[in-house]
Every structure is written in structure tokens, then in C-alpha cells.
Amino acid sequence: MSKVDDKKQQKRESLLDSAFQLFIEHGFSKTSISDIVRSAGVAKGTFYLYFKDKFDIRNHLIAHKASQVFQNAYEAMGREQITDFEEQVIFIADHILDQFSVNHSLVLLLSKQLSWGFLKSSVFQAPGSSSSGDTPTILAIFHSLLEQARYSYRNPEIMMYLILELIGGSSYNAILYEQPVPLSELKPYLYQTVRGILRQHRQAPTD
Amino acid sequence: MSKVDDKKQQKRESLLDSAFQLFIEHGFSKTSISDIVRSAGVAKGTFYLYFKDKFDIRNHLIAHKASQVFQNAYEAMGREQITDFEEQVIFIADHILDQFSVNHSLVLLLSKQLSWGFLKSSVFQAPGSSSSGDTPTILAIFHSLLEQARYSYRNPEIMMYLILELIGGSSYNAILYEQPVPLSELKPYLYQTVRGILRQHRQAPTD
Amino acid sequence: MSKVDDKKQQKRESLLDSAFQLFIEHGFSKTSISDIVRSAGVAKGTFYLYFKDKFDIRNHLIAHKASQVFQNAYEAMGREQITDFEEQVIFIADHILDQFSVNHSLVLLLSKQLSWGFLKSSVFQAPGSSSSGDTPTILAIFHSLLEQARYSYRNPEIMMYLILELIGGSSYNAILYEQPVPLSELKPYLYQTVRGILRQHRQAPTD
Amino acid sequence: MSKVDDKKQQKRESLLDSAFQLFIEHGFSKTSISDIVRSAGVAKGTFYLYFKDKFDIRNHLIAHKASQVFQNAYEAMGREQITDFEEQVIFIADHILDQFSVNHSLVLLLSKQLSWGFLKSSVFQAPGSSSSGDTPTILAIFHSLLEQARYSYRNPEIMMYLILELIGGSSYNAILYEQPVPLSELKPYLYQTVRGILRQHRQAPTD
DNA sequence: GATGAATGAGCATTCATTCAT
DNA sequence: AATGAATGAATGCTCATTCAT
């Protein structure tokens, strides 16, 4: 990678970092592009060399952070010895919620986006800028876990959709406002429900 | 109510109606107060006699519509003979989703807001403009249903929170984009999960 | 007219005057709306209460000034006793060119616009802001002169088109750059040509 | 001409061609230098190696196209046997208008520029990039035609100025908008007027 | 209470131009 | 000679809010 490309990547990331900080600090609509470039230390025009507009940078940001959060959870799972699919799902959910817990900004940015539809369209394809995958995509991970599972599942997509919406939606208030209860208190109920959903969709032992 | 108060109320509602139409047609951030007053046929200054700002009118709108949607479902339930709590919850959920189905604008406005925390804070208190209750509040309804239920439930608030987030979250994509499947296809899984949540929280028969 | 309407008209005219000065001084494209409002002493937003954009104010300006120039010429003609149509045309042309001569800004703004098509569409209809005519429109004037003329003319519109393009076009360089010769030197040739055009289109004495 | 010079000339012409297309398609002020270089397939900085700014390239373009149009007409005239000066002028005018008719972009670029002053200053000097004349300049052509004419003319420059302004001005609306009438219908009147102008300036047979 | 003209800070976006490579 | 990333001043335009009538 040439010196120029290096600098370009650096600028791009500086913009993404600044935008992230400002979005979670002041909110999306109260953050102006002026704010972003000022914080990133680049000129206004430079922003438009890398992103189409504010929405564009937000989308890149969400896709990037969401992918990261999943990768973190997946890697952590690798360090444990968890073979059961149900336990794997719970482990990943738990790990993600813990990441959210210590980093509220992630909740603000991601929580409401955690839905199957969104992940399918934007996160799974391109975790980095180019999909030249060394790291497996989240979709691939999910399917490989599914294949190795003891049971097979009816409509795994619907199943995951329900789980994601449940977790994504309920974590928002619990983490940010401790409503109706703090996350730690919510977790048992949440995971029990997740297990319930998984069992509903179980089909039969994959001998 | 005097003639003057009548006219006042009329203006207020004209503003709310116009805002609703514009918010769901062009989105919140692309709707200006100018647009609202033009559509409502009142002067710009008049807006500020009734609402603090755009956020204020949106909150009133959400509270009002959400309350309406619940009331509709509750009244429809009254016309059937449903005594079992679980069936009552499913009936209400189903009725609300059907209202959403035929009126996508409601999904746009409400779906992501359907959470226990929100409903508790804004809908339950003031369904109309003043809380002078002729119609029972949703909170009251919920508690009365709960009292008459055959079983008692542990942490009914958490239970309802989970149910609401699940329904609110998953209906959005299913209704608007038929993702991951159309609502009709999603419903059985959704309701099974809701029943699962309810049963998890059952305590014992209320003899 | 109320006090408020008075002020509005005043603002509008202040904007038109400022725009005119700036357009002819620095040119259209080098004049910004900021310049115009600063010079007019109103706020930026006020501009947009009166005009759609810079093009809009230019069009109003052109229509207004062109109408004025014609009215001036027509009124001056009324003070002389000129009955012959050919002499009337020459008198008006001469008067307009003299106005241009002493006010170069008019040439810059109008000369290239003096064509039958333009005048028909914008100037003739609405010399003021409203067409509530006390002053007869230029179109009406032209037709009344034509009716009273000794001769009738074939295709009077084409005839006037040619005359207007000839005068409008040739006056530009002659007045602004004295090229190929100063206006005074050009005039005899120009008027001779105008007379030639008129005679070409003569049909027969209108006895 | 070396290979390098070839490539240079190629870039230059690519820029001119692209600018021409974009100017007539989107207008001068709505065409950016970015647009031009993108379309020409060269880098932004390269533009400034060949032209000072957007105005500069436009001037070169106009001069080049105008010269071309005249040359085309002159060459076509050479293929006929036209010896009378009046007929020669009409033939050239007619040929130019026909070129405009089939190529509206030429009207957009040139029509309003067709004046003696402009032609004298920019076209006659440098039809190509360098005045290294193989093709005779338009000025030279005009003078040679004039010398061979049967009659001599008073003030031939003023005469040509009037003719050019008349044709240039009146063709614009006629061709682009068919106003006040389509060109074909306008032509007889136009040419009759041109002949009128020529005869007015005739002095005496040059025998 | 109701009006709507006026405000001006604020915003996204463009673009000619430069200059290190 | 050629490049194209970077610049940042400049611009058109919006809009929530105020306030004299």
C-alpha cells in the first residue's frame, strides 16, 4: 500500500471515528458535517471525497461497528469450549449485551438496528470496506454454527429475526434507562425467552 | 365547552392531523413547521400557542395514536367473549397488528415506540389531552385484566416489556418490507413466542 | 394599502434596486444573494419571501425595466405630433437607444433580451406586479399604432421581430465598446435598415 | 510533430470536445471543470496545463467552432459557381443557418456571438490554435470577396455588422423555439432584409 | 388569541485551484 | 508532463422562532 493510500485510509478512519463520537455524544441530527470535519482535522471538502453525505457515513459506521461487535463475540466464543447451538446463541447474545453495557454509545448506534433484515443486507456482506474476506462473514458464521448443531431448525431466519428484535429492542431501555429493570435483572427472563424461541423451532436431532 | 374553546380545540386537532399526515408521508425530519401550519390552515405563530416545538407535537401525536390503537383493540375484545388472559393478550396483539397492517403510517409512527417504558410514561397518563378519565387508561386496563386472570404472573411488567418489544420490533420490517417474511407468515411464530413468554411468567393458579 | 403592505412593497423594491445595481456593476453570476440582501439592508431569509431565486429576481428586473423603457419612449412620442407609423417606430427606437446611451446598465441588462418572443411573453403582460392595467401594455400600444397606420403590414410580428433583434443586437457593442463604430455613427445605417424592413412588409394604403 | 506533441494535442482536443458537449448539454454555468476532465479522461490538474480557466476554454471553443462554420460555408460556396457578391453573402448566410438548423448546439454556443466585433477579435486571428495559416482567415476571405465584387460598398464593416447581428439574433429563437415562426418561414424575410442592407451600402459599379 | 413578515444563524454542498508525488 | 488528493472559501437555501400588529 502506497504512502498516499495510507494517508487516505487514515483520513477516512479519522472521519469515521469523529462521526462516531459526535453521533453518540450529541445525536445524529445535531451533528453537522462541519463538526465532523473539524473534529477529524480535515477540510470540509475532504468529507465528500469519502462519503456521499451524513447518512452515508452513518451507514458505514453502523455496518462497521455491528460487524465488530459480532466478531468480538464470535472470537470470545472460540476461546471457550461451547458446542451446543443453544448455548452458543446465548453466549453470543450475552457477550454482545455486555459490550453494550460497558459502551453505551454502541447501544445508541446499534441496538435498534439489530434486526435480521439489516444485518443480512449490510453487515454480513462487507464487514470491512472490501469483502475480501479473511474473517468469515457473520452470515457464514451463523450458517456454519447451524450446520454443526445437534438439532435442525425450522425457519432459522425467522427464528433469528425474532431473537434479534427481542434482544435489540429490549436492551435499549434496560441499558440506557434501567427501565423497566436494569439489564442484569432482565437477562434471565430474556435468555429464558430466547431458549424458548430456539426450542420452538427445533425440528429433530440431527443424528 | 365554550365556542371559543371549541375553536381552539379545532385548531389543535387540525395541527395534529396535519403533522401526522406529513410525518408519515415525508418523515419527521423532512417536515417543517411551515409545512404543518400551511397544511393545517393556521398561521405560523399559532403553532407555538399549542406546542413547544416539533418534538412536542410528535410526542403528543404518538401518545394519542398509541392510546387509540390500544383502545380500539380493547373495545373489540369487549365484543368477543374472551376470558382467558393469554387469549386476551394474543387478541389485543393481533388486533393491533391488524390495525398496523391496514395502516402502514401507524407502523411508521408507533412500531418502534411500543415499549413498556414509553407506554408507561406517556400513553397511560394522558390518552386524551386532559387525563379527565372517562375511558380507562391502558395501565388500568392491563391491571384489571391481570387481576381477573386465572394465573398470577411474576414480574408482569418485565413480561409485558418483552412482549411489547418483540411485537413492536418484529412487526416493522414484516409489515413494511415483508422481511424476513410477510406478517401473516410471521404471526404464528410470533404468537407462539408470546405464549411462551406468558407461560414462563405464570406463577400458580389464582384459585 | 395597509402599513404592512407598504413596508412589504418597500422591501421588495429595495431588493430589486439592489439587485439591479449589483448585476450591472459586477455581473449576474458574480453577484450573490448575500450581496443583494446586504445592500438592500434586509435579512437573507427575506429575499426568499419575495423571490424564488436569483433567476427569478433577474426576470422580474428585466421585465420591469424593459417595460419602463418602452413606456418612457411611448410617452415621449405622445408629446410630439407623430402620426406616420414608420416615423413612430423610428422615434421609439431612437428614444430607447438614447436611454441606453445615457444608461449603460440598461444595455447590459436588456439589449440582448429585446426580442419579440421575450417581450410577448413577459413584458407585455405584466409591466407592474399586477396586470391591473392603468397603463396600456406594450402589446396593446403596438397594435393600436398598427391599426391607425396608413399602410397595413404583412406579418407584423415577424417584422417587429427582425427590427427588435437588429436594434437590440447591434446596439450592444456600439454603445458599450463603440464597435464597430459609436452609436451615433451607427444610427443612420440602422434606421435606414429599419425603414427598409418596414417598407418590405407594407401591403397597401389603408385608405 | 513529435509523438509527445501528438499526445498533447490529443488531450487538448479531448478537453475541448468534452467541454463542448457539456456546455451545450447542461449549459456553461452548470458545467464544472470536474465534469470536463472526467468526461475527457484526464486529471484535474491537466486542465490547467492547457487552459487558464473555464472562460478560457469557452473562448477557444467559440472561436474554433465559429471558424469552422464559416469555413464550411465558404468551401461549399466554392463548389458552386457564385460570382455575385450579394448572392455570395446570401449563400453563406443560408449555409450557416442550415448548419445551425441541423445542429442546435451550435446555435446555443454561437448564435448570440455572431457579431462583427467578436469575429474580428477572436475568430479571424486564430482559427486553429496557432495562426500558422494554411486556410485563409475569414477576414481575408471577406476582403477578397469584397474586392472581386461588382459594386463597391460604403462602410462594409458596418454593413456586415448589421447583417451578422440580424442573422445571429433572429436565428436563435426561430431555430430553438420556432418563435415567432420556424426558421424556414423566417428565411425569406430575413434574406430580403439582408439584400436590402447590402443595396443600401452599394456605392457604384466597380468596373 | 391569532397573525405572518422578518429574522439570521446554520447547513449541506460545490468547485476552482494548488501542489506534492 | 501528468496526476488527483486536498483544500476551504463561497453559495444558495432552510427554518425555528420572534414580535409588532
Residue-wise DSSP of B82-103: ---HHHHHHHHHHHHHHHHHH-
Are the C-beta atoms of A44 and A129 separated by less than 8 Å?
A: no
Asked whether the predicted pLDDT for residue A1 surpasses 80, the reply is no
Secondary structure of residue D48 in the 3-state scheme: helix
Per CB-CB distance under 8 Å, the chain A contacts of B161 are 170, 173, 180, 186
pLDDT tens readout for residues A90-146: 999 999 999 999 999 999 999 888 887 777 765 544 444 333 345 668 888 899 999
Residue C17 to residue C14: CA distance in whole angstroms: 5
A165 with B170: Cβ contact below 8 A = yes
A169 with B116: Cβ contact below 8 A = no
Residue nearest to nucleotide F20 (CA to C1'): C4
Residue A99 to residue A65: CA distance in whole angstroms: 11
The answer to whether A182 faces chain B, any CB pair under 8 Å, is no
Are the C-beta atoms of D18 and D39 separated by less than 8 Å?
A: yes
* D128 CA, E18 C1': Å apart: 30
The answer to whether C59 faces chain D, any CB pair under 8 Å, is no
Per CB-CB distance under 8 Å, the chain C contacts of D172 are 115
Q: Which of D117, D179, D196 lies closest to C200 in CB terms?
A: D196
pLDDT bracket for residue D120 (50, 70, 90): confident
* A130 CA, E13 C1': Å apart: 27
Angle subtended by helix axes D33-40 and D3-26, to nearest 10? 130
| Mean pLDDT of the D110-127 span | 68
- Looking up cell 406546542, which residue turns up? B51
D115 with C200: Cβ contact below 8 A = no
| Mean pLDDT of the A194-204 span | 93
Shortest Cα–Cα distance, C148 to chain D (Å):
23
List CB contacts of A44: < 8 A, sequence separation 6 or more. Answer: A33, A34, A37
Phi-psi region of B181 (alpha: psi -120 to 50; beta: other; left: phi over 0): beta
Of all nucleotides in the shown strands, which has a C1' nearest the CA of C3?
F21
DSSP, residue by residue, B174-196: HHHH--SS-HHHHHHHHHHHHHH
Asked whether the predicted pLDDT for residue A51 surpasses 60, the reply is yes
pLDDT tens readout for residues A175-189: 999 989 999 999 999
Angle subtended by helix axes B183-201 and A183-201, to nearest 10? 120
Residue D18 to residue B5: CA distance in whole angstroms: 67
The chain-wide mean pLDDT, for chain B, equals 88
The chain-wide mean pLDDT, for chain C, equals 89
C-alpha closest to that of C170 among C180, C157, C160, C161: C180
pTM, rounded to two decimals: 0.86
Query: Cis ω on the peptide bond leading into residue C180 (within 30° of 0)?
Result: yes
pLDDT bracket for residue A199 (50, 70, 90): very high
Residues 11-30 of B with CB under 7 A from strand F: 30
Q: C-alpha C16: how far from its chain's center?
A: 16
Residue C168 to residue C171: CA distance in whole angstroms: 6
Torsion of the alpha carbons at D168, D170, D176 and D177, rounded to the nearest 10: 170
List CB contacts of A153: < 8 A, sequence separation 6 or more. Answer: A146, A159, A198, A201, A202, A203
Residues 107-166 of B with CB under 7 A from strand F: none
How many CA atoms, within 13 angstroms, populate the side-chain half-sphere of residue A89? 25
Asked whether the predicted pLDDT for residue B2 surpasses 60, the reply is yes
Assigned C-alpha cell, C162? 427582425
Of all nucleotides in the shown strands, which has a C1' nearest the CA of D54?
E16
Q: How many residues comprise chain D?
A: 207
Report chain D's C-alpha Rg in angstroms: 19
Are the C-beta atoms of A167 and A89 separated by less than 8 Å?
A: no
C177 with D116: Cβ contact below 8 A = no
Shortest Cα–Cα distance, A109 to chain B (Å):
15
- Looking up cell 477579435, which residue turns up? D121
C-alpha closest to that of B171 among B193, B155, B140: B193
List CB contacts of D93: < 8 A, sequence separation 6 or more. Answer: D163, D167, D190, D191, D194
Task: Give the model's pLDDT for residue B40.
Answer: 96
Task: Give the model's pLDDT for residue D128.
Answer: 42
- Looking up cell 486556410, which residue turns up? D135
Per CB-CB distance under 8 Å, the chain A contacts of B192 are 200
Largest Cα separation within chain B, whole Å, is 61
Whether C48 CB is under 7 Å from strand F = yes
Task: Give the model's pLDDT for residue C30.
Answer: 93
Q: C-alpha D46: how far from its chain's center?
A: 28
> Of the ranges B12-21, C121-130, C139-148, which is most confident?
B12-21
C-alpha closest to that of D85 among D136, D158, D160, D135: D160
Residue D186 to residue D201: CA distance in whole angstroms: 23
Residue D37 to residue D18: CA distance in whole angstroms: 8
Angle at B195 between CA B189 and CA B201, to 5 degrees: 140
Q: How many residues comprise chain B?
A: 207
C-alpha closest to that of D69 among D91, D90, D100, D46: D100
The answer to whether B133 faces chain A, any CB pair under 8 Å, is no
Assigned C-alpha cell, D175? 431555430
The answer to whether D155 faces chain C, any CB pair under 8 Å, is yes
Interface test with A, best of B107, B111, B179, B191 (most A CBs within 10 A): B179
The chain-wide mean pLDDT, for chain A, equals 89
The answer to whether A112 faces chain B, any CB pair under 8 Å, is yes
The answer to whether A97 faces chain B, any CB pair under 8 Å, is no
Task: Give the model's pLDDT for residue C122.
Answer: 56
pLDDT bracket for residue C137 (50, 70, 90): confident
Asked whether the predicted pLDDT for residue A12 surpasses 50, the reply is yes
pLDDT tens readout for residues B75-106: 999 999 999 999 999 999 999 999 999 999 99
Q: Which chain F nucleotides are covered by protein, judged by CB under 7 A?
A: 1-21
Asked whether the predicted pLDDT for residue A198 surpasses 60, the reply is yes
Q: Please name the helix (run of DSSP H) or strand (run of DSSP E) that holds residue B199, with its range, or none.
A: helix B183-201
Q: How many beta carbons lie within 10 A of that of residue A58, not counting itself?
A: 17
Beta bridge partner(s), residue D153? D202
The answer to whether B40 faces chain A, any CB pair under 8 Å, is no
Q: How many beta carbons lie within 10 A of that of residue B81, not counting itself?
A: 6
Q: Please name the helix (run of DSSP H) or strand (run of DSSP E) that holds residue A72, with its range, or none.
A: helix A54-79
% of chain B exceeding 70 in pLDDT: 89
Interface test with B, best of A58, A170, A175, A199 (most B CBs within 10 A): A170
- Looking up cell 455570395, which residue turns up? D88
C162 with D193: Cβ contact below 8 A = yes
Beta bridge partner(s), residue A153? A202
**B–A touching, 3+ CB–CB pairs within 8 Å:** yes
Residue B56 to residue B60: CA distance in whole angstroms: 6
Using CB atoms, list chains with 3+ pairs below 8 Å to chain B.
A
* D26 CA, F4 C1': Å apart: 25
**D–A touching, 3+ CB–CB pairs within 8 Å:** no
pLDDT bracket for residue D19 (50, 70, 90): very high
Amino acid (1-letter code) at residue A127: P
Q: Which chain E nucleotides are covered by protein, judged by CB under 7 A?
A: 1-21
- Looking up cell 411500543, which residue turns up? B114
Using CB atoms, list chains with 3+ pairs below 8 Å to chain D.
C
Assigned C-alpha cell, C69? 423603457
Are the C-beta atoms of D39 and D7 separated by less than 8 Å?
A: no
Assigned C-alpha cell, A194? 430466547
Residue A192 to residue A190: CA distance in whole angstroms: 5
pLDDT tens readout for residues D42-70: 999 999 999 999 999 999 999 889 989 99
Task: Strands of A59-201 (E only): list them.
Answer: 151-153
A117 with B193: Cβ contact below 8 A = no
Integer CA distances (angstroms), C12 to C18, C43, D47, in order: 10, 12, 43
The chain-wide mean pLDDT, for chain D, equals 88
Task: Give the model's pLDDT for residue C138.
Answer: 82
pLDDT tens readout for residues D148-202: 999 999 999 999 999 999 999 999 999 999 989 999 999 999 999 999 999 999 9
Beta bridge partner(s), residue D202? D153
List CB contacts of C89: < 8 A, sequence separation 6 or more. Answer: C163, C194, C198
Whether B38 CB is under 7 Å from strand F = no
Assigned C-alpha cell, D107? 446555435
